[in-house]
Structure 1
């Protein structure tokens, strides 16, 4: 049961909060476990990862403030869900139910989703994926559909240029690659699932188009996306120069969540930076300097704003953007 302002006693705090995330083996699950461990050591309550098949599954629960207390989500998905399909579409669609009650706790670090093939595949660039069997659709995990659209768009391609093999969610796509049912799939760079499939069959991350014009194509196709380049040996499966789409990761909640609980979560992550950085290499990107920003896609929770104001990092520009976002969902 989620902890709303009504279910948290005014004089106390919960013993445990949950953080909805993607399944075990995904990068999100690894990051969430690290955040939960950091809060256990630096906040007045414990936290635990609550795996779901994907963002599409738990976003409605987060919006309603039931079953889910917090959620690990990406900036693009959250922005689309916040205003709803009536106001914003990307790639010609918005599959997310309107979620005007979601609020931001902290803006975390960026993550990347790469395109993977078996290591002996003749495919070395995403251009080579044209006409090939590629895992797609992702009805339980729509974020991955956008990951694919962004990666393909770097070279002026779209989902219509590949032979889509439907899979429910991101891990299923890599399982299909392992089993030989697809020739191309995607996953978060450096994730446990990529390591698992690499151990089974050997995988290689391919390069997407990553020049200045490609950056512009990606940003136009999926606003909020950029491109990151990888040197050989920098991550599992990166045996030659590679690149992938990149975007911010958020820790979100519902506006019904207790101000004090959110305040303590932000405080725990702020003061627990040393602990946080040891829990996962990518959590080193979750620096406190990134937590408050005027470039976010959903409004902050009042409990987070209270903490930021106490630390002197909440600016006039952030307040202006906050009010603009609140009006946007009306």
Structure 2
């Protein structure tokens, strides 16, 4: 799969980042995920507002497209900020496999992830998962497993406390939830997968961070994360009460050898076109151009992005 992505990306991107030599790829999660929708919106706006032709390329997971990004087989990718740290350092879901060429281009929007269960479930807290069938493994999306382990450990649990059901990714986990095979799955409210599941089964989210100690433990395990409080709204029927989820910035990543002018032009287009981003996908209502240069220990910004942020005055030393 990794070789397939690299070959496909090279065919897509060509040997030069400029539009006349072929489209530029943004590696991201599969279609139907919120990650794909975000990448597709970035690609649409970048293509419309620059001379660069950009395409979102959905793949099974970041374990495929992050190494391709590191190698320069693709020029951009989307993921959360703590994965950028993990990938760069060779920790977390990239334990022992450092990708030192990963760079941050922009923070795109705040994001929350938590546990989704059936609306009529007796699961109301993480402790209620003990002994219950629950997705584990995530061989194609190891980051989901890392996040799941972080919140379980912060609650005094481990994957050994659940009746583990191996899944390759969260999409399959959601299918098993709809079928009643598992009692929950880790997902992002508002994503296409959540909406698809709700068409088959009413669902709700539960809090995954309970108290300051748990918040500190999760932040240590997932650099740059914080408690993301999500309130009920008409837009999120799956949120039936205020819940505390894993909050973090979802980021646009690039690689160290990406053309500096290309990265500069792309982040400039995003910074100046929030309305167009919102038109492409409503989640960009939460996009804050002034927060695009938010820095996290362990993550390094690309020089082209830093140049633009310094010129704009939002870069902080």
Q: Do the structures match in fold with TM over 0.5? A: yes
Aligned-partner Cα distance in 1 for 2:22–2:94: 37
Structure 1 residues 123 and 313, CA gap change in structure 2 (3 angstroms): closer
Aligned counterparts, 1:47-196, within 5 A: 47-66=54-73, 68-84=74-90, 88=91, 90=92, 94-95=94-95, 97-196=97-196
SS at match of 1:200: coil
User: Alpha-carbon deviation of 1:145?
Assistant: 0.8
Q: Is the 8 A contact 2:117 2:203 kept in 1?
A: yes
User: Alpha-carbon deviation of 1:296?
Assistant: 5.0
TM-score, length of structure 2 as denominator length: 0.89
User: Alpha-carbon deviation of 1:183?
Assistant: 1.1
User: Alpha-carbon deviation of 1:96?
Assistant: 6.3
Q: Is the 8 A contact 2:131 2:162 kept in 1?
A: yes
Structure 1 residues 209 and 69, CA gap change in structure 2 (3 angstroms): closer
Aligned-partner Cα distance in 2 for 1:198–1:155: 27
Q: Give deviations 1:116-153, integer Å, cap 9, x for gaps.
A: 11112111222211221111111111110122123323
Q: Is the 8 A contact 1:69 1:253 kept in 2?
A: yes
Aligned-partner Cα distance in 1 for 2:241–2:23: 44
User: Alpha-carbon deviation of 1:43?
Assistant: 1.6
Structure 1 residues 133 and 199, CA gap change in structure 2 (3 angstroms): same
Please point out which of 10, 15, 19 is paired with 1:7: 15
Residue 206 of structure 1: aligned partner: 206
Q: Is the 8 A contact 1:151 1:244 kept in 2?
A: no
Q: Is the 8 A contact 1:150 1:225 kept in 2?
A: no
Aligned-partner Cα distance in 2 for 1:268–1:299: 21
Residue 46 of structure 1: aligned partner: 53
Tell me the C-alpha RMSD between the 2 structures: 2.4
Structure 1 residues 113 and 96, CA gap change in structure 2 (3 angstroms): farther
Q: Is the 8 A contact 1:80 1:96 kept in 2?
A: no
Unaligned 5+ runs, structure 2: 1-8
Aligned-partner Cα distance in 1 for 2:11–2:303: 16
Structure 1 residues 231 and 299, CA gap change in structure 2 (3 angstroms): closer
Structure 1 residues 281 and 176, CA gap change in structure 2 (3 angstroms): same
